[in-house]
Amino acid sequence: MSVAKKRFQPGGPDVVAGLAATAPSGAALDERVRSESWFNKILNRPEFASISGTVMVFAVFILAAGNSGMFNLDGIMNWTQVSAYLGLISIGAALLMIAGEFDLSIGSMIGFAGMMVAIPTMYFHWPIWLAIAFAFAGSMALGALNGYLVVRTKLPSFIVTLAFMFILRGLTLALSIQFADRTIISGVGDVAAQDWFARTLFQGVAFHDLMLRLGQMGWIRMVDANTPLVPGVPKVILWWMLLAGLGAFLLAKTRFGNWIFAVGGDANAAKNVGVPVKRVKISMFVLTAFCACLFAVLQVCDIGSAAADRGLQKEFEAIIAAVIGGSLLTGGYGSVIGACFGALIFGVVQIGIGYTDVNSDWFRVFLGLMLLLAVLFNHYVRRRVGGGR
pLDDT at 55 (0 to 100): 87
What DSSP letter does each residue of 195-253 carry, written as one string? -HHHHHHTSSEE-HHHHHHHHHTTSS-EEETTEESS--EEHHHHHHHHHHHHHHHHHHH
Q: What is the pLDDT of residues 25-76, one digit of tens each?
A: 444 445 555 566 666 666 667 777 788 888 888 888 888 887 888 888 888 9
Range in 191-205, 235-249, 363-377 the model is least confident about: 363-377
For range 353-375, the mean pLDDT: 77
Nearest to 123 by CA among 197, 198, 185, 196: 185
Compute the half-sphere exposure of residue 69: CA atoms within 13 Å on the CB side of its CA.
7
CATH topology of domain 48-385: ABC transporter involved in vitamin B12 uptake, BtuC (1.10.3470)
- The pLDDT of residue 219 is above 80: yes
Cβ neighbours around 245 below 10 Å, total: 13
Question: Do residues 101 and 285 make contact, with C-beta atoms less than 8 angstroms apart?
Answer: yes
What is the C-alpha separation between 245 and 332, in angstroms, rounded?
A: 20
Question: Do residues 78 and 230 make contact, with C-beta atoms less than 8 angstroms apart?
Answer: no
Q: What is the pLDDT of residues 294-337, one digit of tens each?
A: 999 999 999 999 999 999 989 999 998 998 888 888 888 889 99
pLDDT at 153 (0 to 100): 93
Q: What is the pLDDT of residues 138-163, one digit of tens each?
A: 999 999 999 999 999 999 999 999 99
Q: What is the pLDDT of residues 242-300, one digit of tens each?
A: 999 999 999 999 999 999 999 999 999 999 999 999 999 999 999 999 999 999 999 99
Instruction: Enter the pTM of the model.
Output: 0.87
What DSSP letter does each residue of 156-210 carry, written as one string? -HHHHHHHHHHHHHHHHHHHHHHHHSSSEEE-HHHHHHT-HHHHHHTSSEE-HHH
Looking at per-residue pLDDT, the higher value among 26 and 202 belongs to 202
What is the C-alpha separation between 345 and 128, in angstroms, rounded?
A: 34
Nearest to 296 by CA among 286, 283, 308: 308
What DSSP letter does each residue of 288-348 carry, written as one string? HHHHHHHHHHHHHHHHSEEETTTTTTHHHHHHHHHHHTT--TTSS---HHHHHHHHHHHHH
What is the C-alpha separation between 148 and 281, in angstroms, rounded?
A: 9
pLDDT at 31 (0 to 100): 52
